[in-house]
């Protein structure tokens, strides 16, 4: 750890060293100039409560925003190559991808139209999803109650599961191996320089008493992103919300076609298989209240809400037993449930990669590359993420993501 009251300099300071921050650090060292000094500030190297570490680890292409689909496509491709890309010497990184399609359900004219629009957009961008009417859905999944379902979309082979914690640690280790510096400290102050943009930088104060002068600050603080932005006097519409995950066993598991990653948009429920058991949770809990530092598990959510919904959709889930549960925090964009990516228009030295609203783990490879391109080349090169820019925050112009 850096001794107290030491002042240093860096080209880039990344605030937050979990999945997103470590991915940005890796790509900066991968495509940046050899002498680029990257400092990552992360107070908890165990990542015990990091959103990435507590993520369920799915990657999908079912989105209503084209950029999100493209980022997932790159994320899939990166996961296939990550073992070698993030290897150190002859030791492969422990990152794998397990194909498993998502199945999104819809009912009613409005939901079905939105589902169809998303399906058509995926097709335009090269995805191989399948549209299913109720009759086709029943034939494929006879164990599912489809009485209230009007249509569904089944994803293709580029959807599936990965270990977010393994990806985080692999990004981190490789970034360090390539020259990035990780400091075990929280950022307690950010002072942004004023004046002509070419001379603007920042001074970062850390919890260990040290200070870092830098040219760019990148906010990758996940659920704590708003607090980090406030240190620089910037308002960011991102809050932490609780995301419950419950693990359960079924006495009589569904048989037949492979169980997908089921996203029941009718009941606001998701469930997927996991090593002979199942993981479930709700993508929209309560009133999306600011969770603060609350990681308490509400077991009644499973007994009173999720279990009845599970049994209603899959009758064999009448007899299930919960065996584990945890709560993570999700960085929720209160503006439009979509990411905020890029520099602040009035403070270009402050760059944001926040508000992913449940998509952060699967999108961290693409966002890491995009932020690195922005820093090194001055613009996005691989995927144009300009629509996610901070200007829409200032003008309150939404870019809503339906899924």
For the chain (length 403 residues), average pLDDT per consecutive 10? 67 98 99 97 95 94 97 98 97 97 97 97 94 96 96 97 98 98 98 78 96 97 98 97 95 85 93 94 67 91 94 97 95 96 96 96 98 98 98 95 91
Average pLDDT of the chain?
A: 94
Residue 286: what pLDDT?
Answer: 52
- The domain made up of 7-79+164-236+336-395 is a member of CATH 3.40.640.10: no
Which tens digits make up the pLDDT trace of 98-154?
999 999 999 999 999 999 999 999 999 998 999 999 999 999 999 999 999 999 999
**pLDDT at residue number 395:** 96
Residue 1: predicted pLDDT: 43
Instruction: Give the global pTM.
Output: 0.95
Q: Which residues pair with 131 in a beta bridge?
A: 153
CA gap 253, 249 in Å, rounded: 8
Q: What is the Cα–Cα distance from 323 to 310, expressed in whole angstroms?
A: 16
pLDDT computed for residue 196 by the predictor: 66
pLDDT of residue 16: 98
Q: Where are the domains of the chain?
A: 7-79+164-236+336-395, 99-157+239-329
Task: Please state whether 61 falls in left (phi above 0), alpha (psi between -120 and 50) or beta.
Answer: alpha
Q: CATH homologous superfamily for 99-157+239-329? A: D-Amino Acid Oxidase, subunit A, domain 2 (3.30.9.10)
Question: Quick one: which H or E segment has residue 225?
Answer: helix 225-231
**Amino acid 17: pLDDT:** 98
Q: How far is CA 378 from CA 71, 77, 111, 116, in A?
A: 19, 25, 39, 36
pLDDT for the residue numbered 282: 72
**With contact defined as beta carbons under 8 Å apart, do 101 and 154 qualify?**
yes
Strand partners, 259: none
Q: What is the pLDDT of residue 289?
A: 82
């Amino acid at each position: 750890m850096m001794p107290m009251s030491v002042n240093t300099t860096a080209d880039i300071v990344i605030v937050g060293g979990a999945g997103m921050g470590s991915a940005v650090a890796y790509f900066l060292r991968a495509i940046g100039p050899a002498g680029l000094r990257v400092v990552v500030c992360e107070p908890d190297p165990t990542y015990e409560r990091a959103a990435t570490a507590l993520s369920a680890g799915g990657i999908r292409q079912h989105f209503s925003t084209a950029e999100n689909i493209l980022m997932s496509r790159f994320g899939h491709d990166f996961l296939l190559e990550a073992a070698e890309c993030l290897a150190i010497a002859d030791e492969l990184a422990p990152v794998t991808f397990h194909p498993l399609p998502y199945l999104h359900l819809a009912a009613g004219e409005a939901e079905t139209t939105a589902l169809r629009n998303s399906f058509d957009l995926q097709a335009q961008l090269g995805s191989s999803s399948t549209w299913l009417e109720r009759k086709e859905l029943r034939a494929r999944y006879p164990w599912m109650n489809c009485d209230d379902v009007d249509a569904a979309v089944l994803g293709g082979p580029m959807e599936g599961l990965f270990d977010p914690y393994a990806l985080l640690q692999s990004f981190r280790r490789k970034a360090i191996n390539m020259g990035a510096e990780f400091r075990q400290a929280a950022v307690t102050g950010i002072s942004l320089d004023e004046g002509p943009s070419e001379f603007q930088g920042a001074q970062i104060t850390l919890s260990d008493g040290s200070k870092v002068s830098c040219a760019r600050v990148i906010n990758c603080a996940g659920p704590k992103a708003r607090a980090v932005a406030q240190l620089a006097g910037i308002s960011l519409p991102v809050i932490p919300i609780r995301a419950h995950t419950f693990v359960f066993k079924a006495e009589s598991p569904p048989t037949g076609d492979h169980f997908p990653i089921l996203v029941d948009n009718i009941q606001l429920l998701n469930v997927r298989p996991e090593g002979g058991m199942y993981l479930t949770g709700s993508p929209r809990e309560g009133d999306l209240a600011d969770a603060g530092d609350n990681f308490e598990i509400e077991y009644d959510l499973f007994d009173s809400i999720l279990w009845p919904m599970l049994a209603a959709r899959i009758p064999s889930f009448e007899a299930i037993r919960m065996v584990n549960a945890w709560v993570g925090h999700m960085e929720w964009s209160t503006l439009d449930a979509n990411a905020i990516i890029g520099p602040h228009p009035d403070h270009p030295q402050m760059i944001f990669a926040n508000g992913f609203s449940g998509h952060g783990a699967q999108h961290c490879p693409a966002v890491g590359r995009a932020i690195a391109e922005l820093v090194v080349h001055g613009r996005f090169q691989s995927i144009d993420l300009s629509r996610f820019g901070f200007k829409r925050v200032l003008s309150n112009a939404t870019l809503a993501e339906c899924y």
